[in-house]
Amino acid sequence: MDSKRDKEQDADVEKITAVLLKSRTGEFDLESILFLKLRGLGIHDLGCIGECMNLERLDLSGNHVSSLSPLASLRLLSVLNLSANRISNLEPLRGCEGLQNLNVAGNIISSIENLQFLQSLKKLENIRFRDNTYNYSNPVCRNSSYRNIILEMFPTIKVLDGERVVGRGSDLYQLCKDIDDTIKAGLYKNGQLVEHTDCKPWVEDTYWEIKRSNNAIVDEAYKQFNDVLHECRLLNNRATHVISQTEKSMSLKKQPKQYAI
């Protein structure tokens, strides 16, 4: 029965309605909804979502949303995921005064001027316009000065496109990046790939397993952590594929040329 209900809930919906929101959250009152995940439902119209006045976390990724007007009333919203939609105008987000974390990667935001609407959000710390894990981006990211312009426009942000730029952890990020570059450089000697023995993980596979909790906040944190782990696994798979292709290419170059007699 539960699986059937889940399939019905995951079916494409054109517009967000009170019935949809109540069925997915179990709440009788829209103002009681704090967390909402509406990922990949084919949503075009945000409908009555603006009535969820106390909403704090909202995931609308992977839909067909183009207008954000109903979000303007969500002043308590702190985390908003709008990745992989059809958004070009961010002006309605000016009303989301409590916004701290915003993901709009994979949309059609084309101008730097459009980003100025976000400058009034004083609590904004984490912004993502592109996501290399899923190959999401925006036309505005093609600007050669994109990164410098964003950092100048938002001097208080701590994380841009998944990279910590200021605050605690930025030095650690740079250190890890330097170590990663050094390791990559160490894979080659005199222009040739050096073979290494397989490395074992630092910890057992079960080390990262987390016990579920009935607490809504802890449960939401668990889901977000799982999303991060999923992204890490995707990156690891891509890295493994690139290394494999590189090794194959290098081995072909080492083979002696054969000439027909």
Q: pLDDT per residue over 222-231, tens digit each?
A: 777 777 787 7
pLDDT digit string (tens) for 44-89?
999 999 999 999 999 999 999 999 999 999 999 999 999 999 999 9
Stronger pLDDT, 215 or 104, i.e. the higher one: 104
Whole-number pLDDT of residue 138? 97
- Three-point CA angle 67, 68, 70, nearest 5°: 115
**Which H or E run includes 220?**
helix 216-254
Q: Which of 70, 69, 146, 75 is nearest to 105 (CA)?
A: 146
What confidence category does residue 155 fall into, taking pLDDT thresholds of 50, 70 and 90? confident
Overall average pLDDT of the 150-179 stretch: 74
Q: Which of 27-36, 114-123, 205-214 has the lowest mean pLDDT?
A: 205-214
Instruction: State the chain's mean pLDDT as an integer.
Output: 81
Stronger pLDDT, 126 or 10, i.e. the higher one: 126
Overall average pLDDT of the 123-144 stretch: 93
Contact status, residue 36 vs residue 57, Cβ threshold 8 Å: yes
What confidence category does residue 172 fall into, taking pLDDT thresholds of 50, 70 and 90? low
Stronger pLDDT, 2 or 235, i.e. the higher one: 235
What confidence category does residue 249 fall into, taking pLDDT thresholds of 50, 70 and 90? confident
The CA dihedral of 13, 15, 19, 21, to the nearest 10 degrees, is 90
What confidence category does residue 36 fall into, taking pLDDT thresholds of 50, 70 and 90? very high
DSSP state of 65: -
Whether the per-residue pLDDT at 134 is higher than 80: the answer is yes
| Three-class SS state of 57 | strand
pLDDT digit string (tens) for 102-118?
999 999 999 999 999 99
Overall average pLDDT of the 125-151 stretch: 93
Whole-number pLDDT of residue 227? 77
Q: How far is it, in rounded angstroms, from Cα 23 to Cα 6?
A: 10
230: Cβ contacts below 8 Å, ≥ 6 apart: none
**Which H or E run includes 81?**
strand 79-81
Whether the per-residue pLDDT at 2 is higher than 50: the answer is no
The amino acid occupying position 159 is V
Q: Which of 135, 83, 125, 133 is nearest to 108 (CA)?
A: 83
Give all domains of the chain, ordered by start, each with its CATH number: 2-166 (3.80.10.10), 187-254 (no CATH)
Whole-number pLDDT of residue 167? 53
Q: Read off the pTM.
A: 0.64
